[in-house]
Structures are given as structure tokens and as C-alpha cells.
Amino acid sequence: MTLRAPIVINKRYTVKSSGMAIITCSPATGKFLIPLRHNSTEKGKDKMKPTRVPNNPCFSSGPCAKHPGYSVEELKDTPFGRSHRSKPGKEKLAEAIKRTRDMLGLPDDYLVGIVPASDTGAFEMCLWSMLGCRGVDVLVWESFSKGWETDITKQLKLKDTRVFEAEYGKLPDLKQVDFKNDVVFVWNGTTSGVKVPNGDWIPDNREGLTLCDATSAIFAMDVPYHKLDVITFSWQKVLGGEGAHGMLILSPRAVQRLESYTPAWPLPKIFRLTKGGKLNKDIFAGSTINTPSMLANEDWLATMKWAESVGGLKQLIRRTNENLAVFEEFVAKNNWIHFLAETKEIRSSTSVCFKVDLSDEKLKALIKTLEKEKVAYDIGSYRDAPSGLRIWCGATIEKEDLECLCEWIEWAYNLVK
């Protein structure tokens, strides 16, 4: 509800249709009224400080906010002190795999496994296990995709590699990709707020594999699984799970590559997906490569149950899109904040990145002010990205909290500018 209060009209306020306050007269008192939350272009001290705060001020892009109503009581069934190889341990891990598969609606012949070291570990084991038998096209447009390019060209030192790179806010030319090669890319650039628009650019009859880091896209965007041979993500992104564990999804073509190709370089134990030239299927049945946290696994089960309770994948995507819409409206109303993504079709709905018309010093002051007021934590841009804001809008974020945050961002901007 908008708060209103009597005021004495002075020359600072002008009646306009947008950008300024609308002044009205109370028929009961004859006094003029003005909304306390107006779009003033005056200094922040002349704009009333918001009176409400987000219920959850955690807008980090990883680890991300816990789901609404989260309680550690949800972890009470963790098999503490039991081996992950024990019957209850393996059952819990297998349940996490099954719930994930069911929630995503994966093809029946795709495999799902829990692996070490978050999304990074999941994607690294695939780069090191599968690449090298044909050329590689790698797409780069932000920090993490740049990291995969570095691994391919400087660590694996694959000479038959083509790099297609774009600056922050843009995508490389997807039409240049040769699918006779293996293709490595992120679905959503977590540090730039730029995603691929869809999977139409990926042919069904490709010769090479498509290896996709989908960690900040899965559970939030429409991902065409049949276009992807390797899909990786971590627990701590869209559904707000705990860190240190990754999930690996393999198509039959990816399995065929693992069983028909042995890299020339040695593989550490946590990268090995085969035994005796055959896929180690135990990994995809809950028998992990090394010891997982059963507490983190129980937390993932809690996220799955919450996701089911709100309506499953379609509703997770809907919640995320509605969250993005809050900022689309906010940016449209304020000419001092801009999406880093240049066009709407490539704009991320999860890791939403902004440019703000402030110096670096004043931007830091804005971020510090919001943290001091306990209304927003961890919303600065990634260290390698252009200066700005990065605000998580995934499914565990409540739309009302983002609406509230917008009021605080506007207030803080006027305060520091």
C-alpha cells in the first residue's frame, strides 16, 4: 500500500504523468497529498527512505537464497554417521538422482550422477575425459566460459580449437559454430547476465558433442535436452542447495564417446567416469566417486520437495520469469540503470546484471549502503565483469522481495549520486 501524507506545496514538485510525483487533493480535508515513495530526481535525502524491507535480503548469485520457508528441521532425516556406501546412504543418494531426473523431465536414456567439486568439477571431468579426438569450438562471453577456454587451450593444449569470443553484454555469432567439432559453451553466462536465446542453433544431426555448463540455467529456463550431450550444474544455484557437489547429465552419445575414446593424458581419480573401457554406471545409481556430504544431499532433497510443492519445473521457470519482469519494469522507469545484456532475447532471467550511471566509488557506496541497511547482500558485479550490479532472480527469490529491493536501490542511488 502506498503511504501518503499532507504536505505544503513548494516549487520542487511539479505535476507530471511520469518521472515525478502525482499531487492530489483530499476532498475530506482540502489538503494536498503526495506519495511518500515518489520518483524524485532530487538528492536521496529529499526522497523518503523506504519503510519496508525484503523478507530475505540474500540476492547472491551463488550460493543462492534458500527456498521460502526453509528450515534446518527439513534436514532431520540425514543419515549422520552412516557410510555413503551403506544401504540408507546409497538410497538417499539414489533418491536425489531420481527426484532430479523426474523434476527435469529428462529423456529416459539420459544418465544423471552426483560428482565432486560443484559444477566446476562436473564440467572439468567432461572436458578432460571427452575432448581431444576431434576439433573443438568454444564460445566465450563472460568469466566462466573464458575459464573453460583457458582449460582447453592452455591446460589440455588442444591445438585444433576455435574460440568465438564476445565482450560482456553480447553473444558470439552462433552461426559460425561448426558442429562437426565438439562445442563447449555455457547456457547462461552467470557473470554477464547473457544467455543463449534458445537451442535452435544446434542441429539434431550434429557430429560432435555439445558440452553445456547449465548451472545458472537449469530449473529456471527452457533447456532442450536433446540438443545437449553433456549438461552440468551445481546444487547451490537455482534451487538454493549447498555447495561442493555437482550433477552430471550424459546423453547416449556422450556415453559412446567415453567408451570409445581414451585421452592421451592421465586422469585423476575424481575425473574417471569409466572402468575397463566401460562407463562406470554405479556413479549414476548413487555410488559416488568419493565421499559426498550426506547433509548437503539431504538439503538437496529438501529443495526437490519444495520445488514439487510449488508445481514443478514449469512453475520454477514461471517464478523466475516473473522475477525478471520486476526489473524490466524498474529499468524502463529509470534512465540511470541499464541491463548489461544488449537485447531482451539474450537477457538472463537468473543472474541479472546491470550497468548503473555512477562512478565506481559511488556504486560501491550504493552497494555498501544496501548491505548496511540489511536489505541486499552480495549484489556487486563479479570481480572480472564490468562495474555494476548483479542480482539473483532465480526461483527461490520472492517477487515481493525484488519489488521492495527496487525501492531501496532507487533510494540509495539518489542518496549517493
Element (H, E) at 211: strand 210-213
The answer to whether 315 is a known ligand-binding residue is: no
Determine if the peptide bond prior to 63 is cis (ω within 30°). Answer: yes
Quick check: 410 and 356 in contact, CB under 8 A?
no
Q: How many angstroms separate the CA atoms of 141 and 341, rounded? A: 11
Helices (H) and strands (E) in the chain, counts: 8, 17
Rounded Cα–Cα distance for residues 266 and 59 (Å) = 40
Residue 176 is assigned to a ligand binding site: no
What does the radius of gyration of the chain's CA atoms come to, in whole angstroms? 24
For residue 112, the cross-strand partners are 249
Give the ranges where 342-386 is alpha helix by DSSP (H): 360-372
Q: Coil, helix or strand for 110? A: coil
Q: Is 236 within any annotated ligand binding site?
A: yes
Residue 139 burial (C-beta neighbours within 10 Å; 0-12, 13-18, 19+): buried
Query: DSSP code of 100?
Result: H
Burial-class residue 55 by CB neighbours within 10 Å (0-12, 13-18, 19+). exposed
Q: Would you say 85 is a known binding-site residue?
A: yes
Instruction: Write out the binding residues for L-glutamate.
Output: 85
Instruction: Write out the binding residues.
Output: 85, 144, 190, 213, 236, 290-291
Instruction: Write out the binding residues for pyridoxal 5'-phosphate.
Output: 144, 190, 213, 236, 290-291
